[in-house]
């Protein structure tokens, strides 16, 4: 058993098993099963058109698993994975599961600040990266991570490995490997984060397999499904809701798009006759515009899943007419709980709600600031527990004490109301986080970086309304004494040099002498939010 994570209480675990939510099978079996029943079907196609059957993918994973063991990666070892949407990700993901190691999934956009923290927290044994991606040399990043985190012994590189180990060369003849305990942690996902640094989310074989299986059923995935991975494969939405894993589970075909741009994605939809894909709202908006001028044939598309941040009712109602497919809203979280609008829901509910919980075993409470249940239909914070929602972050006891109730409910920090149909409408947020078109930015994490700037005395990060992204990031600064406060460009350079991911850089910087305070003396972020919103209105831009 991996230590440092919080398992479900025995009573709940027994119930989830007895009721069939947890099947007691390792996660990698979903690939093995298909390789046995449909070996010659195409499992995976990459952006360039290279194709792998189920048998080939399965065999590659076996060979790499054996190679990883030979390299010294042992059962329970954590391996930080930072790979873009390529076959290398898929093979390594299954190879690690089979070697009994735990993939720790990070985004290609993450940089030194995030990776060092993640590798350190996980006590990672290895790091897997591309050589270069999106004009960035990840080997430079790996050198910095190794220097800062001595437990990282191996760097595995997809492509030109330089002084590191080439992933391609890791293969060895398959060996029998011990079967992992299905109730143990299979994978560690990254949380959006509301505090100083991102947290790690343990997902077990049992819970994640159920997440994938139930999602695939609700979304109508079957062997005719051709799923386009548009978001990063490492993101829970694209990986398991039902995503890449859900498609492999049912014997469909996964197609990997290198980017979410309409040029790349539309060309792949046409070429591979893609039937379903998942995007965040800004990409949905971009695609709704792009169909006007892009010539591609999108007639194969049956379903567009949209989630990660709130999709407005107006663009929601434009999806079907413009793209000729059904819309599904998805309100999910890497921590577990998934809400889907159903394929047979009336159009009103699909356009105006963020779906209802996936599982009959999902328990939902909506509470006020004192933790009391609000009256039916009123808005409050969503609390949840269930067979695929974590009971605690990995190695984070202090944070866990705040993020969970005594009886195990996870405090989502999302403000919702529940309709009589059980559908949820997301009304806002009670957490100190900015949701920049699906990318989550912890205000505290960014403020800590800003406070490190010599000319900054105090910093407060708030969201500001934005027509495309939902919100963008505004950093309010109080300069240090007579110092000249940094401009937005100077700050961007400063933060980049500190190894902060580009999506976290403030979109706007505002300088003030003093922060508004609440009655208890905390920075009044609501007031700052109102100020920047008013300023945007006065400038004639913003919410639009
Ligand atoms: C997904 O997962 P995360 O972990 O990146 O972010 C979770 C948070 C939620 O707590 C909520 O604040 C926000 O993202 N969110 C939405 C939303 N979907 C997610 N807010 C409003 N409307 C929505 N539809 O973002 C995620 C994971 C699995 C599937 C889909 C999204």
Task: Report pLDDT digits (tens) over 244-282.
Answer: 999 999 999 999 999 999 999 999 999 999 999 999 999
Is-contact 328 293, C-beta < 8 A? no
Taking the centre of ligand 1 as the mean of its atom positions, its distance from the CA of residue 336, in whole angstroms, is 10
Alpha-helical segments (H) within 241-303 = 243-249, 262-272, 281-290
Alpha-helical segments (H) within 476-515 = 488-497
Taking the centre of ligand 1 as the mean of its atom positions, its distance from the CA of residue 502, in whole angstroms, is 20
**Nearest one of 159, 204, 271 to 8, comparing CA atoms:** 204
Preceding amide of 242 cis, omega within 30: yes
Taking the centre of ligand 1 as the mean of its atom positions, its distance from the CA of residue 240, in whole angstroms, is 13
Residue nearest to atom 19 of ligand 1 (CA): 308
What is the value of pTM for the model shown?
0.97
Separation CA 323–CA 367 (nearest Å): 38
Structure tokens at 361: 């075993």
230, 280, 332: which to mutate for ligand 1, most atoms within 8 A of CB? 332
Q: Is 18 exposed, middle or buried (0-12, 13-18, 19+ CB in 10 A)?
A: exposed
Is-contact 80 163, C-beta < 8 A? no
Is-contact 361 14, C-beta < 8 A? no
SS3 168: helix
Measured from the Cβ of residue 70, the count of other Cβ atoms closer than 10 Å reads: 14
Pocket of ligand 1 (CB under 6 A): 192, 236-237, 241, 307-310, 329-334, 338, 354, 412, 414, 426, 435, 438, 440
Q: What angle do CA 178, 183, 187 make, to 5 degrees?
A: 80
214, 307, 390: which to mutate for ligand 1, most atoms within 8 A of CB? 307
Structure tokens at 344: 């047979």
Taking the centre of ligand 1 as the mean of its atom positions, its distance from the CA of residue 133, in whole angstroms, is 26
Mention every residue, 6+ apart, whose C-beta is less than 8 A from residue 297.
269, 270
Per-residue pLDDT for the chain (544 aa), expressed as one digit of tens each?
A: 889 999 999 999 999 999 999 999 999 999 999 999 999 999 999 999 999 999 999 999 999 999 999 999 999 999 999 999 999 999 999 999 999 999 999 999 999 999 999 999 999 999 999 999 999 999 999 999 999 999 999 999 999 999 999 999 999 999 999 999 999 999 999 998 787 789 999 999 999 999 999 999 999 999 999 999 999 999 999 999 999 999 999 999 999 999 999 999 999 999 999 999 999 999 999 999 999 999 999 999 999 999 999 999 999 999 999 999 999 999 999 999 999 999 999 999 999 999 999 999 999 999 999 999 999 999 999 999 999 999 999 999 999 999 999 999 999 999 999 999 999 999 999 999 999 999 999 999 999 999 999 999 999 999 999 999 999 999 999 999 888 999 999 999 999 999 999 999 999 999 999 999 999 999 999 999 999 999 999 998 655 4
Taking the centre of ligand 1 as the mean of its atom positions, its distance from the CA of residue 309, in whole angstroms, is 6
Measured from the Cβ of residue 261, the count of other Cβ atoms closer than 10 Å reads: 15
Task: State the closest ligand 1 atom to the C-alpha of 240, by its place in the atom list counted from 1.
Answer: 28
CA dihedral 385, 217, 107, 62 (to 10 degrees): 110
Structure tokens at 530: 């109102």
**Residue 483, Cα to own-chain centre: how many angstroms?**
39
Q: Is 138 exposed, middle or buried (0-12, 13-18, 19+ CB in 10 A)?
A: buried
Task: State the closest ligand 1 atom to the C-alpha of 330, by its place in the atom list counted from 1.
Answer: 24
Taking the centre of ligand 1 as the mean of its atom positions, its distance from the CA of residue 461, in whole angstroms, is 20
Taking the centre of ligand 1 as the mean of its atom positions, its distance from the CA of residue 423, in whole angstroms, is 15
* H or E segment to which residue 13 belongs: helix 10-18
């Amino acid at each position: 058993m991996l230590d440092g994570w919080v398992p479900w209480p025995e009573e709940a675990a027994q119930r989830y098993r007895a009721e069939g939510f947890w099947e007691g099978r390792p996660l990698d079996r979903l690939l093995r099963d298909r390789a046995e029943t449909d070996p010659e079907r195409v499992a995976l196609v990459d952006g360039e058109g290279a194709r792998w059957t189920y048998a080939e993918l399965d065999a590659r994973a076996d060979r790499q698993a054996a190679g990883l063991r030979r390299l010294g990666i042992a059962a329970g070892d954590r391996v930080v994975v930072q790979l873009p949407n390529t076959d290398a990700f898929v093979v390594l993901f299954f190879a690690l599961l089979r070697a009994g190691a735990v993939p720790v999934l990070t985004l290609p956009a993450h940089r030194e600040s995030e990776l060092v923290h993640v590798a350190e927290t996980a006590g990672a044994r290895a790091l897997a990266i591309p050589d270069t991606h999106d004009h960035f040399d990840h080997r430079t990043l790996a050198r910095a991570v190794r220097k800062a985190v001595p437990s990282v012994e191996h760097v595995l590189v997809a492509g030109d490995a330089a002084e590191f180990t080439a992933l391609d060369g890791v293969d060895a003849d398959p060996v029998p490997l011990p079967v992992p305990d299905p109730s143990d942690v299979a994978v560690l996902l990254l949380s959006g984060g509301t505090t100083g640094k991102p947290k790690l989310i343990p997902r077990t074989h049992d819970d994640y397999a159920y997440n994938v299986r139930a999602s695939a059923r609700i979304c109508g995935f079957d062997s005719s499904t051709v799923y386009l991975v548009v978001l990063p494969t490492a993101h829970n939405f694209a990986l398991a809701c039902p995503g890449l894993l859900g498609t492999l589970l049912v014997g469909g075909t996964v197609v990997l798009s290198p980017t979410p741009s309409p040029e790349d994605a539309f060309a792949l939809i046409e070429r591979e006759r893609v039937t379903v894909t998942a995007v965040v709202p800004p990409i949905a908006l971009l695609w709704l515009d792009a169909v006007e001028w892009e010539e591609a044939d999108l007639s194969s598309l049956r379903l567009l899943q949209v989630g990660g941040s709130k999709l407005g009712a107006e663009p929601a109602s434009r999806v079907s007419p413009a793209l000729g497919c059904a819309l599904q809203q998805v309100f999910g979280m890497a921590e577990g709980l998934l809400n889907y609008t159903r394929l047979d829901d009336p159009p009103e509910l699909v356009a105006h709600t963020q779906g209802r919980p996936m599982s009959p075993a999902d328990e939902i409470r909506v509470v006020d600031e004192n933790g009391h249940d609000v009256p039916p239909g009123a808005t409050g914070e969503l609390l949840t527990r269930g067979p695929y929602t974590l009971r605690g972050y990995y190695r984070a006891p202090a944070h866990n004490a705040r993020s969970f109730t005594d009886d195990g409910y996870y405090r989502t920090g999302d403000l919702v109301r529940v309709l009589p149909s059980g559908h949820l409408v997301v009304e806002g947020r009670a957490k100190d986080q900015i949701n920049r078109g699906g990318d989550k930015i912890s205000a505290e994490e960014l403020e800590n970086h800003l406070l490190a700037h010599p000319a900054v005395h105090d910093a407060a990060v708030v969201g500001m309304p934005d027509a495309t992204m939902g919100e963008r990031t505004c950093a309010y600064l109080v300069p240090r004494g007579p110092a000249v406060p940094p401009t937005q460009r100077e700050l961007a350079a400063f933060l980049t040099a500190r190894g902060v991911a580009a999506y976290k850089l403030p979109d706007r910087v505002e300088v003030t002498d003093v922060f508004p305070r609440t009655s208890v003396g905390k920075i009044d972020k609501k007031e700052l939010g109102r100020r920047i919103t008013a300023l945007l209105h006065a400038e004639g831009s913003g919410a639009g």
